[in-house]
Amino acid sequence: MIVIADDITGAAEIAGMASDGTKVIATDTRSLTQEEAVAETNRIVEKHKLTKDLQIFKKTDSALRGHIVAELSVLMQKLGYSKCLLLPQNPSKGRIIRGGKYYINNVLLHETSFRHDPEYPANRSDVTGMMHGCHYLSLDSQLKEGINIAEATCMNDIIVQLAKADEDTLLAGAADLFRTICNKNIETSNFRDFDIPKPLLIICGSTQSKSLATEPVLESLGAVEIPMKSDVFHGEVSIDSWIETLKNAYLSSQALIMTIGHEPVGGKDYAVRLREDMAIAAAELCNVLPPHTIIIEGGATAFAVLSALGWTQFDMEYEFAPGVVALRHEVTDKVASLVEETIVVLKPGSYPWGGIFQ
């Protein structure tokens, strides 16, 4: 099976539950313009010689962010699918579609914190209005040609909807759909505890990030939390002085938490600049002292940081909690590095940490 995910934390989440032999590709198209996302999707199909025979799954954001319809349309056209079954919701996390509307823990999507998303603010909750050109698939209706966004309020509903798909149907959606395809039960998943070795670098780049400074494990490690300086956050000065502050704290404590630390005040341009600044700072820190463990919150931030480090391929290690996944990156220049490998832990910005810091 080939999985195409529009951000790296989504790709890691799928890798955490996938069987051996599954290839997961992170495209970061959610951070691109729609035109760029379409071009990148085309490039991925051609580069990897994708066909329907390979069993393609398109991982989408569970809160409907990104260029979902445009990317699915490209895949359907290029691969020859006439139908697409889209189940973006995760009932296991309280994310459901009922009566054509999207809810999170029984609150309409546009009334949740996603209305403040800097790049894709949720300003409505009717799914066909959000996903222009899609058909709404209730539990008692059949798939139509085109993209069908499906009702589902529980895991059994996903099973019912999945049974409607045939070989001419592209499957797309979030983790609960993929877990159903793989026939894996979340209650019996083998989640692991986490031993956190130093040097440790934690990067919280999500607008929904919460302070980790008082987590007992991190306190015992002497971790220092440093938010972005206000003038750096607002783009009034360069990030050089903030990087020096981070370096000094990281070298002395060998356990650093770097955060944005401010409420979002801008749109896409603001978000892009902030994650690029976080990536530059993280790369500088890793060059000064290679971490044994690097933990990154937020998919766009994770992609920017790992790209800045030049790390593109990882081996799956284990899953700590749904969506919180550890990957292993082997250090190639072992002569110049203090570590032979780095464990990279990724978490979507809107997901809980699970028991990782307990």
Q: Which of the four pLDDT bands, split at 50, 70 and 90, describes residue 193?
A: low
Closest Cα to residue 326, out of 9, 1, 96, 64? 9
The pLDDT score that the predictor gives to residue 190 is 54
Q: How far is CA 278 from CA 11, 47, 275, in A?
A: 21, 30, 5
Q: What is the pLDDT of residues 237-252, one digit of tens each?
A: 999 999 999 999 999 9
The pLDDT score that the predictor gives to residue 150 is 98
The pLDDT score that the predictor gives to residue 184 is 63
Stretch 77-100: mean pLDDT, rounded? 97
The pLDDT score that the predictor gives to residue 226 is 95
Helix, strand, coil content of the chain in percent (nearest 5):
35, 25, 40
Stretch 299-319: mean pLDDT, rounded? 88
Of 51-55, 61-65, 267-271, 282-286, the one with minimum mean pLDDT is: 267-271
The pLDDT score that the predictor gives to residue 338 is 47
Q: What is the pLDDT of residues 318-327, one digit of tens each?
A: 888 778 888 8
Global pTM reads: 0.80
The pLDDT score that the predictor gives to residue 352 is 83
Q: Is the predicted pLDDT of residue 159 greater than 70, yes or no?
A: yes
Stretch 30-38: mean pLDDT, rounded? 95
The pLDDT score that the predictor gives to residue 346 is 92
DSSP state of 236: S
Contact between 171 and 119 (Cβ < 8 Å): no
Of 44-58, 108-122, 189-203, 223-237, the one with minimum mean pLDDT is: 189-203
Contact between 1 and 20 (Cβ < 8 Å): no
The pLDDT score that the predictor gives to residue 322 is 78
Stretch 101-121: mean pLDDT, rounded? 94
* Longest CA pairwise span in the chain (Å): 62
Q: Which of the four pLDDT bands, split at 50, 70 and 90, describes residue 263?
A: confident
The pLDDT score that the predictor gives to residue 192 is 60
The pLDDT score that the predictor gives to residue 336 is 42
| Percent of the chain clearing pLDDT 90 (strictly above) | 66
Closest Cα to residue 168, out of 64, 84, 277? 84
Q: How would DSSP label each residue in 6-64?
A: SSHHHHHHHHHHPPTT-EEEE--GGGS-HHHHHHHHHHHHHHTT--GGG-EEEE--TT-
